[in-house]
């Protein structure tokens, strides 16, 4: 096989992020509805606004994804003491999320075969990405991860990819990137000359014609190339 190592995105690449996030967010909304006697839509809107503000202020950093910051801001806007309830709601969110992560077909086989050759490259805070990897049973199979909290920059910034290569200790031509975001994962990888597999889950139209990019429509399509 051509590749000796893999840089691998986590969210929406090895499991279905959207469905886990929907269930977790709904659990938060139901808790706030019952505990504070609030309308569901009021809570949901407050959360989305708080998320938007956090993204705006912390754009390009791992902290921009920190749910504790979203929840703190949401509670402040709703006039509820975040120091009393913030951590409890944060734990409801992530505990529910972790329980509801569904890995894509072929992920387990992929890690059984290539685990030691993988470095995760991911835009989020390290604490929760470590928890996800443990929950998915991958902590004994994979040794390396680079998060945007660790590098101070989010993909497509080259730092994340370059640190991943360093951790794998492999030359660039022996490594490929696998990820779902064309802008972050694929253009970021191609920017430093890494080959890339684009997991095009939404079957989007491809914008660039580039021989270094192989498009796949499901994770299990990787079988055909490895």
CA distances from 198 to 9, 173, 192 (A): 11, 17, 16
Q: Which of 5, 8, 11, 29 binds Mg ion (CB under 5 A)?
A: 11
| Residue number with CB closer to Mg ion (92 or 145) | 145
Distance CA 138, CA 122 (A): 15
| Residue number with CB closer to Mg ion (11 or 195) | 11
Q: Is 12 an interacting residue with respect to Mg ion (CB under 5 A)?
A: yes
Which stretch in 11-19, 27-35, 67-75, 194-202 sits in contact with Mg ion by CB under 5 A? 11-19
Site size toward Mg ion (CB under 5 A) is 4
Which stretch in 3-11, 48-56, 64-72, 215-223 sits in contact with Mg ion by CB under 5 A? 3-11
| Residue number with CB closer to Mg ion (12 or 149) | 12
Q: Is 123 an interacting residue with respect to Mg ion (CB under 5 A)?
A: no
3-state per-residue secondary structure call for 46-80: HHHHHHHHHHHHHCCCHHHHCHHHHHHHHHHHHCC
Q: Is 180 an interacting residue with respect to Mg ion (CB under 5 A)?
A: yes
**Taking the complex as a whole, how short is the minimal distance between the CB of residue 76 and Mg ion, in angstroms?**
29
Which stretch in 10-18, 54-62, 89-97, 108-116 sits in contact with Mg ion by CB under 5 A? 10-18
Q: Which of 5, 9, 28, 178 binds Mg ion (CB under 5 A)?
A: 9
Distance CA 188, CA 190 (A): 6
- Give the footprint of Mg ion on this chain (CB under 5 A): 9, 11-12, 180
């Amino acid at each position: 096989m051509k590749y000796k190592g893999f840089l691998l995105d986590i969210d929406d690449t090895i499991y279905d992020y959207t469905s886990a996030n929907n269930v977790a967010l709904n659990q938060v909304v139901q808790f706030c509805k019952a505990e504070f006697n609030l309308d569901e839509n009021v809570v949901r809107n407050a959360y989305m606004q708080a998320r938007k503000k956090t993204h705006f202020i912390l754009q390009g950093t791992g902290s921009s994804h920190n749910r504790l910051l979203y929840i703190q801001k949401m509670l402040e806007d709703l006039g509820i003491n975040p120091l009393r309830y913030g951590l409890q709601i944060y734990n409801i969110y992530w505990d529910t999320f972790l329980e509801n992560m569904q890995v894509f077909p072929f992920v387990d086989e992929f890690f059984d075969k290539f685990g030691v050759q993988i470095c995760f490259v991911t835009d989020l805070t390290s604490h929760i990405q470590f928890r996800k990897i443990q929950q998915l049973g991958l902590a004994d199979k994979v040794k390396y991860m680079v998060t945007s909290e660790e590098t101070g920059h989010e993909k497509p910034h080259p730092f994340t990819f370059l640190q991943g290569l360093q951790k794998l200790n492999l030359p660039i031509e022996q490594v490929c990137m696998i990820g779902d975001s064309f802008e972050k994962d694929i253009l970021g990888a191609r920017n430093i000359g890494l080959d890339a597999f684009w997991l095009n889950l939404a079957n989007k139209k491809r914008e660039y014609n580039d021989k270094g990019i192989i498009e796949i429509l499901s994770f299990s399509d990787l079988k055909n190339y490895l």
